[in-house]
Amino acid sequence: MRNGAECTMSRRALYYTVALGCIVAIAFTGTPAPARPKFDVIDMHFHADRPDDQGPPGGKACAPYPEWAPRDPGQPLDGYLDWFTGHPDCPTVLSSPTDADTLRDRGIAQLKRYNVLALAGGSAEVVDDYRRHGDGHILPGIGFGSSGALPPIEDLRRLHAEGKMQALSEITTQYAGIAPDDPRIEPYFAFAEANDIPIGIHMGPGPPGTAYFATPHYLVSAGDPLRLEPVLIRHPKLRVYVAHAGWPFGDAMIAMMFAHPQLYVDVAVLDWAYPDQQFYPYLRRLIDAGFERRIMFGSDNMVWPDAIGIAIERIRRAPFLTERQKRLILLDNASSFLRIDGYGR
């Protein structure tokens, strides 16, 4: 508008003029212009943690660890733990906040900085706290299983009905020595399939030495991706992804993804805690095997918020990925898996 007379147009007239213009535009183009994605990244492996969820508050981690050091079984475990999370020796050391509000707020700040929508796993109470403070950056999930304790199905049903649980992620029963084909967790797969709830299941790595200091029932063998096959056959409509891309079971993971086209993976923790020479060849092997549309980003930030940005940048600078492949991993594949309107290809 250029003069005073034009500015006297009533709000109602202006409304109808704009509305008519939109209708005409849609009539001529057939469909509205496509909306831009709201987020640049979907994190399929965000932890809504408290400071003591990964050991004593204030623990440290390398991003990445330059090596996996040996442990002398004849020496006290404290020395090994000091190398791992006490005073790790590496160029980039991440430090955990020691109070819950700071940990939460720094994690959400990372989501905002990198424009991330995060599928948050953890206890229902803590996840809901993150969601209420997350300004739309949190999709609530429920994680369980590390101790071997399993939640009542009715509790999950209630949380799902209340909108406080949109995924079971991550199921960490491997730390309790419970593999996916164990009858104890069969009811959770049946519940998820019946209600079309996505599942993320931990398969593969745990902290080095975890069976000796944190989770005494942990079994590497319980994380073999082949142990998931009977579940997929019994539940053909189940949406499921393997956390950590099943590392280091590369052959089994590729065989499973080839045989079961509905199976996805995330690359969480590999993308910040593992060095380039370990992470990149594993990721490239999955890409070269033809699975670029089923690999999803995950941070596995745990109690280290800065891990989120580091993990994103590791994907962005991977020299063998095309720009299309980077977008697939960071955004589009998770959008398709979660069936989020407006984010897919």
pLDDT digits (tens, 9 = 90+) for 63-107: 999 999 999 999 999 999 999 999 999 999 999 999 999 999 999
78, 150: one domain: yes
Cβ neighbours of residue 189 closer than 8 Å, sequence gap 6 or more: 180, 199, 231, 234, 235, 238, 240
Handedness of CA 190, 244, 265, 290 (dihedral sign): negative
How would residue 4 be classed by pLDDT, with cut points 50, 70 and 90? very low
Element (H, E) at 251: helix 250-259
Q: Is the residue at 343 inside a domain?
A: no
Report which of residues 96 and 19 the model is more confident about.
Answer: 96
100 in the same domain as 7:
no
Q: What is the pLDDT of residues 130-156, one digit of tens each?
A: 999 999 999 999 999 999 999 999 999
Under a CB-based contact definition with an 8 Å cutoff, are residues 120 and 130 in contact?
A: yes
Task: Provide the pLDDT for residue 205.
Answer: 84
- In the three-class reduction of DSSP (H, G, I as helix; E, B as strand; rest coil), residue 121 is classed as strand
For 295, the 3-state DSSP assignment is strand
Q: Which residue has the tokens 């084909």?
A: 181
- Please report which helix (H) or strand (E) contains residue 194, including its range: helix 186-194
Asked if residue 1 is part of any domain, the answer here is yes
Determine how many CB atoms are found less than 10 A away from the CB of residue 154. Answer: 9
CATH of residue 59's domain is 3.20.20.140
Half-sphere exposure of 27 (CA within 13 A, CB side): 6
- CA proximity to 53, closest of 16, 97, 3: 97
126 and 256, same structural domain?
yes
**Upstream peptide bond of 32 is cis (omega within 30 degrees of 0):** no
Q: What's the start-to-end Cα distance of the chain, in Å? A: 39
Q: Does 64 lie in the same domain as 24? A: no
Whether 17 is in a domain gets the answer yes
- State whether 178 and 226 are in the same domain: yes
Residues 67 and 210 reside in one and the same domain: yes
Judged against a pLDDT cut of 70, whether residue 32 lies above it is answered with no
Residue 30 has pLDDT above 60, yes or no: no
Helix (H, G, I), strand (E, B) or coil at 125: helix
- Structural domain harbouring 4: 1-33
Q: Are 331 and 40 spatial neighbours (Cβ–Cβ below 8 Å)?
A: yes
Residues 57 and 203 placed together within one structural domain of the fold: yes
Range 116-137 average pLDDT? 97
Residues 268 and 285 in one domain: yes
**Six-digit token string for 295:** 């690999």
User: How far is the C-alpha of 146 from the C-alpha of 20, rounded, in Å?
Assistant: 58
Asked if the structure places residue 323 within a domain, the reply is: yes
- With contact defined as beta carbons under 8 Å apart, do 192 and 168 qualify? yes
Q: Per the structure, how many domains does the chain have?
A: 2
Neighbours of 308 (CB within 10 A): 27
Do 307 and 63 meet the contact criterion of CB atoms below 8 Å apart?
Answer: yes
User: What is the enclosing helix (H) or strand (E) of 101?
Assistant: helix 100-113
Residue 279 CB burial class (10 angstroms; 0-12, 13-18, ≥19): buried
Answer yes or no: do 78 and 171 share one domain: yes
Examine the domain organization and report whether 310 and 238 are in the same domain. Answer: yes
In the chain, the amino acid numbered 93 is V
pLDDT tens for 184-233 read 999 999 999 999 999 999 998 899 999 999 999 999 999 999 999 999 99
Residue of 313, 308, 340 whose CA lies nearest to 47: 308
Q: Would the pLDDT of 115 be above 90? A: yes
Q: Quote the CA–CA distance of 304 and 95 in Å, as a whole number.
A: 6
Domain annotation covers residue 313: yes
Residue 21's pLDDT is 41
Helices (H) and strands (E) in the chain, counts: 15, 11
Whether pLDDT at 11 is above 60: no
Q: Average pLDDT of 322-342?
A: 94
Per-residue confidence (pLDDT) for residue 22, from 0 to 100: 41
Comparing 11-15, 209-213, 323-327, which segment has the lowest mean pLDDT?
11-15
Say which residue the tokens 């250029």 belong to: 2
* Any domain includes 233: yes
In a domain, 22, yes or no: yes
Whether 15 and 134 share a structural domain: no
User: What pLDDT score was predicted for residue 310?
Assistant: 98
Q: What is the pLDDT of residue 34?
A: 54
Q: Are residues 182 and 281 in the same domain?
A: yes
d(CA 75, CA 89): 20
Nearest to 268 by CA among 128, 129, 143, 170: 170
The percentage of the chain sitting over the pLDDT mark of 70, rounded to a whole number, equals 88
Half-sphere exposure of 67 (CA within 13 A, CB side): 5
**345 within domain boundaries:** no
Q: Provide the pLDDT for residue 204.
A: 87
